[in-house]
Amino acid sequence: MSKIEKALNKARAAGGLRVVSSQLPHAEKEISTENLPAAVSTTALTEQRGSAVEAIARMKEKSLLDKHALAQYQIIYPGMEETRTVRAFRELRTKIIQKTQGRNCVIMVTSVVSGGGSTFVATNLGAAFSFDAGKTALLMDCNLNNPSLHRLFGDRNFRGLTEYMDNSGMDIAEIIHQVGIERLRVIPCGERREIAAEYFSSLKLKQLLVSITERYRERYIIIDAPPMSESADTQILAELCDYVLLVVPYGRVTDSQVNACAKAFSDKKLLGIIFNNEPEPPKLKWRSILNPFIALWDVLFHPVKNNPEHSK
């Protein structure tokens, strides 16, 4: 956890960063950097960064998901135990920031095959970006045939990408939703459509991406795209993005499949490969497991709780 994150968490605990203007309904509307001059001095840029961090800090958040719920959703969080998974996403975030030299960008996350874990990677990458109090992330569910991000919401009636694309008068702010994770926003898929290619090749989607990219300079747009093996639309979508992350699930694809998918993108666009879901046992209480008496006691008298508490 970085110093900034620690400081922010500390301040948040003291309630000092929960000052939000009541005049603005959404955090997105609080800050606009669109009118900033193109060329600014270093001092001005630093000041701007400082103001951006402040603005991000003032982003209005709904009730946050507690760590049990996040753990149940398989989403990493700042206070989480430093496992290899958490470390992997932190390092991935750092690499992306180094690659983009701190400039925000649109990153498409796709998998080689269905069920490869692109949603998992996209969500956790967004969460990793949002660890930093000076950065924010926006998850966009473009897997129109098999959307997954809506699971973060309690119900499925949130308006999303398809509604925005179909309604010309809709404001962007109406489809950007909080999910209970600080500095992480989500554009859900919306109602399911079978005409993904038309959406992906439309000018409106391009304008949407430009708009949300330019809205916050510190906001990273992460698109959860359909898997390469199932949809040719993914390549169309990749044209709108700055970078592509290809998720390779453990033990499910051959290297020739990976190579074929990777060749669909240019070297500049393909940021890299994420090898996902490598089997690794969690930390277990081996002493009690290997002691047959304790194990027998557990099996007989401690039933497994399948429904952990999920609160927002």
Partner 1 sequence: MNLHPEQLIRVISNEAFHNRKTVVTIFIVVYIAMVALGLAWPKVYTAYTSIVVEEKKVIQPLMQGAAVATDVADRARLAREVIYGRKIMDQILEYAGWMKNNLTPAEHDKIIKRITDKTIITNIGRDIIKIEYSDNDPERAFKTTQKFADLFISETLRAKSAESQSAYDFINKQTEAYHEKLTKAEEQLKDFRTANLDARPGSEADIALRLNQLQDRIQHATQDLKEAEVRKDSLEKQISGEAEVASTLSREGQFRSRIAELQSRLETLRLSYRDTYPDIVQLKHQIEDLNQAIAEDQQQRAAAKASGRVVLNEGMINNPLYQQLKQELSQTKVNIEMLNTRIAEAKRTLAQELELGKRVHGGEAELSELTRDYQVNRDIYQDLLRRRENARVSMNLDIDTQGLAIKIQEPARLPRQPSGLRFLHFIIGGLVLGIALPVGMLFTRAYLDPRIRVGEVISEKRKLPLLAVVPQLWTPSETQMLHREVEWLSLVMSGTFLVVALTAALRFMDVI
Q: What x-and-dash track marks residues 76-115 binding partner 1 by CB under 8 A?
A: x------xxx--xx-xx--x--------------------
Task: Tell me if 305 contacts partner 1 by CB under 8 A.
Answer: yes
In the three-class reduction of DSSP (H, G, I as helix; E, B as strand; rest coil), residue 65 is classed as: coil
Task: Tell me if 304 contacts partner 1 by CB under 8 A.
Answer: yes
Task: Tell me if 280 contacts partner 1 by CB under 8 A.
Answer: yes
Task: Tell me if 253 contacts partner 1 by CB under 8 A.
Answer: yes
> Tokens in use for 206?
């391009």
Q: How far is the CB of 27 from partner 1 (least distance, A)?
A: 28
Q: Return phi, psi of residue 185, to 5°.
A: -120, 155
Q: How far is the CB of 85 from partner 1 (least distance, A)?
A: 5
> Among candidates 228, 196, 184, 180, which has minimal Cα distance to 65?
180
Task: Tell me if 133 contacts partner 1 by CB under 8 A.
Answer: no
Task: Tell me if 299 contacts partner 1 by CB under 8 A.
Answer: yes
In sequence order, the 6+-apart residues with CB closer than 8 A to the CB of 107 are: 96, 125, 220, 221, 222, 223, 241, 242, 243, 244, 245, 271
- By C-beta, is 32 or 297 nearer to partner 1? 297
Q: What x-and-dash track marks residues 24-63 binding partner 1 by CB under 8 A?
A: ----------------------------------------
- Distance in angstroms (rounded) separating the CA atoms of residues 127 and 93: 10
In sequence order, the 6+-apart residues with CB closer than 8 A to the CB of 85 are: 76, 124
Q: Which of 38, 255, 268, 287 binds partner 1 (CB under 8 A)?
A: 255
Residues in a beta bridge with 109:
224, 245
Q: Which of 254, 266, 268, 301 binds partner 1 (CB under 8 A)?
A: 254
Q: What is the DSSP letter of 28?
A: G
Task: Tell me if 272 contacts partner 1 by CB under 8 A.
Answer: yes
Q: Which of 60, 193, 252, 269 binds partner 1 (CB under 8 A)?
A: 252
- Contact of 131 with 123, CB cutoff 8 Å: no
Q: What is the DSSP letter of 265?
A: S
- Contact of 135 with 96, CB cutoff 8 Å: no
Task: Tell me if 279 contacts partner 1 by CB under 8 A.
Answer: yes
Task: Tell me if 268 contacts partner 1 by CB under 8 A.
Answer: no
The DSSP-derived string for 147-174 is --GGGGSSSS----HHHHHH-TT--GGG
Task: Tell me if 245 contacts partner 1 by CB under 8 A.
Answer: yes
Task: Tell me if 287 contacts partner 1 by CB under 8 A.
Answer: no
Q: How far is the CB of 74 from partner 1 (least distance, A)?
A: 5
- By C-beta, is 37 or 308 nearer to partner 1? 308
Q: Which amino acid is at 190?
A: G
- Distance in angstroms (rounded) separating the CA atoms of residues 208 and 191: 18
Task: Tell me if 165 contacts partner 1 by CB under 8 A.
Answer: no
The DSSP-derived string for 84-143 is HHHHHHHHHHHHHHHHHTT---EEEEEESSTTSSHHHHHHHHHHHHHHSTT-EEEEEE--
Task: Tell me if 284 contacts partner 1 by CB under 8 A.
Answer: yes
Task: Tell me if 68 contacts partner 1 by CB under 8 A.
Answer: yes
Task: Tell me if 264 contacts partner 1 by CB under 8 A.
Answer: no
Which positions lie near partner 1, rule CB under 8 A? 68, 71-74, 76, 83-85, 88-89, 91-92, 95, 117, 120-121, 124, 245, 248, 250-256, 258-259, 262, 270-282, 284-285, 288-290, 292, 295-296, 298-299, 304-308
